[in-house]
Amino acid sequence: MKKLQFIALALFTATLFSSCSDDGHDHGTNEEELITTVITTLTSGNQTITLTSKDLDGNGPNAPVVTTSGDLTVNTTYTGSIQFLNESVSPSIDITKEIKEEGLEHQIFYQAAASIGAFTYTDADTKGKPIGLAFTLRTAASPTTGTITVVLKHEPNKSASGVAGGSMTNAGGATDASVTYNVVLK
């Protein structure tokens, strides 16, 4: 009967839409653009201080492990550079390269109290605004202890007031990394 054929055809067409289920697509999901490690390097003459923050379980519960390789010296100008890595996969992925390629959409902010020192950007994106992959730190005059917080912002408003000078107040955007290092000034 015509009606039965119609039903059969409709059902057949419907089953064509069925998606395959158990085809073993179950490999572990490793986040590929995840940042697990932020390494900030400060160099002056033959002195190199490495500040590291490593959180290998990504969004897992374990807190990042923060280490400082040494103490900073007062009244010194350090040349700074920074590296962002994804070490949850092997071989590890260097995300710093992508940030440089998408320089227009990224800015790194270095925050520390005046008693620790002052930061200056020494790099720029294709429109002349700073990125922050290269910078200098001029340490303050008296010995003290404190923190340096490094924040990577994705799509900040680089033209807003104070942002190009390193102030995060009007930057907006989304935070992709935010690490706090404990430092000692001697």
Partner 1 sequence: MRKNGLIFFFSLFSVILFSQNTVRGKITNQDGVPLSGSHIHIGTKSVSSNDMGIYLIKRLPSGVTKVHVSYIGFKSIDTILTIKGDVVLDFVLQPQMDELKEVVIKEKANTVNTSVLEQKIKGETIEKFSNQTLGELLKNIPGVSTLKTGSTVVKPIIHGLFGSRVPVINNSVRLEDQQWGTEHAPNFDVNAAGKITVIKGASGLQYGGDAVGGLVIISPVAVTKDTLYGKTILNYASNGRGGSISSSLHKGNDKGWSWNALTTYKYMGDREAPNYVLSNTGNREFNFFGDLKYSGAKYDLTTNYSFYSTTIGILRASHTGNVNDLYNSISNKVPSVIADFTYDIGNPKQEVQHHLASAHLNYYFDETASLSLQYAFQFNKRKEFDLRRGDFRNRPALDLELATHSFTADYKKVVHDWVVKSGGSASFQNNFANPATGVQPLIPSYNRIEVGAYGIASYDFSETFTADAGLRYDFYQLNATKFYSKSRWNERGFSNRFDHFIVGEQGNQWFTKPEFKFHNVSASLGFRKTFEANTNWYFNLSLANRNPNPSEFFSDGLHHSSGVIELGDLGLQKEQSIKVTTTFQKKWSQFSFEISPFVNQVDNFMFLRPIAFETTIRGAFPVWEYQQTNARLAGFDFQSHWQINPNWQYDFSLAYVRGKDVTNRTSLIDIPPLNLGNSIQFSKKEWYHFKAELKSEMVFRQNHFPDTNFVANVIENNSLVPVLVDISSPPPAFHLLHLYSEMKFKTTTNSAITIALFVQNMLNTSYRDYLNRQRFFADEMGRNIQLQLKFNY
Shortest distance, position 45 Cβ to partner 1, whole Å:
27
Shortest distance, position 91 Cβ to partner 1, whole Å:
14
CA distance linking residue 56 with residue 168, whole number of Å? 27
Residue ranges binding partner 1 (CB under 8 A): 3, 6-7, 10-11, 13-15, 17-19, 21, 25-33, 35-38, 53, 55-64, 95, 98-99, 101-102, 111-114, 147, 149, 151, 153-155, 157, 167-169, 172-180
Shortest distance, position 46 Cβ to partner 1, whole Å:
29
Residue 42 vs 112, nearer CB to partner 1: 112
Q: Are 51 and 68 in contact (CB under 8 A)?
A: yes
Residue 47 vs 118, nearer CB to partner 1: 118
Tell me the C-alpha to C-alpha distance, in Å, between residue 90 and each of 16, 28, 58, 143, 167. 40, 14, 15, 41, 36
CA distance linking residue 159 with residue 127, whole number of Å? 11
Angle at 68 (CA atoms; ends 53, 156), nearest 5 degrees: 45
